[in-house]
Chain A
Amino acid sequence: MRTAIVFVLALVGTFVHAQHCGYDFRSVIVVRPHAAGDSAVIDGLRITLLDSNNLPVVHYDEPWQLFHRNVEQHLQYQKDGHFDVPDFFPFAQDNYILVVPNSFRTAKMKVLVQDERDAGPLNKRRDQWPVRYKQVVVPLTAFDSHPLCGVYDEAVYPAVKGRPNFAPVDIILYLR
């Protein structure tokens, strides 16, 4: 029994050593939804990662998060010593991002972009329908998830041998 415990403890030591960077075993998917003929990112969209059956991705019974804007936020440490702030990566600029495990096979996944923004008080008062975009589904490729280990705080994502250069997934939206 004691040898077993010692053995496990020794293994823990190697694990700790092996983890040498933040966001180890994690990758990021970066998408840039914009209107046709306008390169500015549209804020407030609902962007879901879909699996090969077009259903939202579930990981160990938990639904995976939605994409969020890559915005730096300066918040206080939480009590348990963790940052409770959304992820931020300088190289992803003002796009939408989603951190996923390296094991996600993005070649089979898709991204669903929906415009479910609130009409806003002015539109509601005037009883008018605001400008809205059609939903789109964009298939991803194997190179759309970018490993984060060692590069999460880089201003420019470094070129990796055997991979195309970093570029966000371009998503063009059309009006309904």
Chain B
Amino acid sequence: MRALALLAFLPMLVSAQHCAFDHYSIIVVRPHVEGDTNVVEGLRIVLLDENNLPATATGTPFHLFQRNTDRPQQWMHPSTWRRNGKRQFPFAKDNYILVVPNHFHMDNYRVLVLDERPGTNGPRYRYQLLHLHPTHSKPLCGHYNDEVYRTGPGEFPLNVAYISLFER
């Protein structure tokens, strides 16, 4: 039902949309082991709201981070991703990313990193909770194709959230 209502509004939204990813921002996080700057692969990274619950906007989940190098499931056509050198957003490199609506106020949100990789080979990490700062989300409109995220004068540069992980 809600989907139908949204579809009815779609033509209006499309005409108002003057750039791709309008009204959407990006959060970039880089979980790494203490003393090693390499990204740890295969983690489950979740955006939590002020109640520590996975973030949603009107029932739609906006909480599961994905690798920038992963084939996109939504928002973007795979051909764009391939053209960008198998990166969804070139400036985000090999980090984990999440696209959220602009109205998400980052002061109220946290990032929870969970290591749920199956098996016992290799180290497993404790979960980490990171409180976000308003500079951690950057609008995508006009920037989604940047090789390096351009910032105007007086603007904060792209703030990648570095998260150190510790072994269990």
Residues of A within 8 A of B (CB): 50, 53-56, 58, 61-63, 112, 114, 116, 129, 134-135, 137, 175-176
- Contact indicator B168/A62 (Cβ below 8 Å): yes
Asked whether B142 is an interface residue with its Cβ less than 8 Å from the other chain, the reply is no
The CA-CA distance from A50 to B46 in the complex, in Å, is 14
- Contact indicator A176/B127 (Cβ below 8 Å): no
On chain A, the residues within 8 Å of B129 by CB distance are 55
Asked whether B61 is an interface residue with its Cβ less than 8 Å from the other chain, the reply is yes
| Number of A-B contacts defined by CB within 8 Å | 40
On chain A, the residues within 8 Å of B115 by CB distance are 63
Stretch at the interface among B49-57, B84-92, B157-165: B49-57
The CA-CA distance from A40 to B64 in the complex, in Å, is 27
On chain B, the residues within 8 Å of A116 by CB distance are 64
- Contact indicator B126/A55 (Cβ below 8 Å): no
Across the interface, B116 reaches (CB within 8 A) one of A63, A114, A135, namely: A63
Which residues from 99 to 138 on chain B have a C-beta closer than 8 Å to any C-beta of chain A? 112, 114-116, 126-127, 129
Asked whether B59 is an interface residue with its Cβ less than 8 Å from the other chain, the reply is yes
The CA-CA distance from A58 to B113 in the complex, in Å, is 13
Asked whether B18 is an interface residue with its Cβ less than 8 Å from the other chain, the reply is no
On chain B, the residues within 8 Å of A129 by CB distance are 3
- Contact indicator B168/A61 (Cβ below 8 Å): yes
Given A135-B56, A176-B59, A54-B127 contact (CB < 8 Å): no
Asked whether B83 is an interface residue with its Cβ less than 8 Å from the other chain, the reply is no
- Contact indicator A63/B114 (Cβ below 8 Å): yes
| Number of chain B residues whose Cβ lies closer than 8 Å to a Cβ of chain A | 21
On chain A, the residues within 8 Å of B127 by CB distance are 55-56, 58, 63
The CA-CA distance from A174 to B112 in the complex, in Å, is 26
Asked whether B15 is an interface residue with its Cβ less than 8 Å from the other chain, the reply is no
Which residues from 39 to 82 on chain B have a C-beta closer than 8 Å to any C-beta of chain A? 48, 51-54, 56, 59-61, 64
- Contact indicator B126/A112 (Cβ below 8 Å): no
On chain A, the residues within 8 Å of B1 by CB distance are 175
- Contact indicator B52/A134 (Cβ below 8 Å): no
- Contact indicator A135/B126 (Cβ below 8 Å): no
Task: State the Cβ distance, A105 to closest chain B Cβ, in Å.
Answer: 18
Given A61-B126, A63-B127, A116-B64, A55-B54 contact (CB < 8 Å): no
Task: State the Cβ distance, B7 to closest chain A Cβ, in Å.
Answer: 11
Across the interface, B54 reaches (CB within 8 A) one of A53, A61, A135, A176, namely: A135
Given A55-B129, A56-B114, A58-B127, A114-B54 contact (CB < 8 Å): yes
On chain B, the residues within 8 Å of A53 by CB distance are 52
Across the interface, A137 reaches (CB within 8 A) one of B2, B53, B59, B114, namely: B53
- Contact indicator B53/A176 (Cβ below 8 Å): no
- Contact indicator A54/B52 (Cβ below 8 Å): yes
Task: State the Cβ distance, A174 to closest chain B Cβ, in Å.
Answer: 8
Nearest-CB residue, chain A, relative to B112? A55
On chain A, the residues within 8 Å of B54 by CB distance are 112, 114, 135
Nearest-CB residue, chain B, relative to A54? B52
The CA-CA distance from A137 to B48 in the complex, in Å, is 13
On chain A, the residues within 8 Å of B116 by CB distance are 63
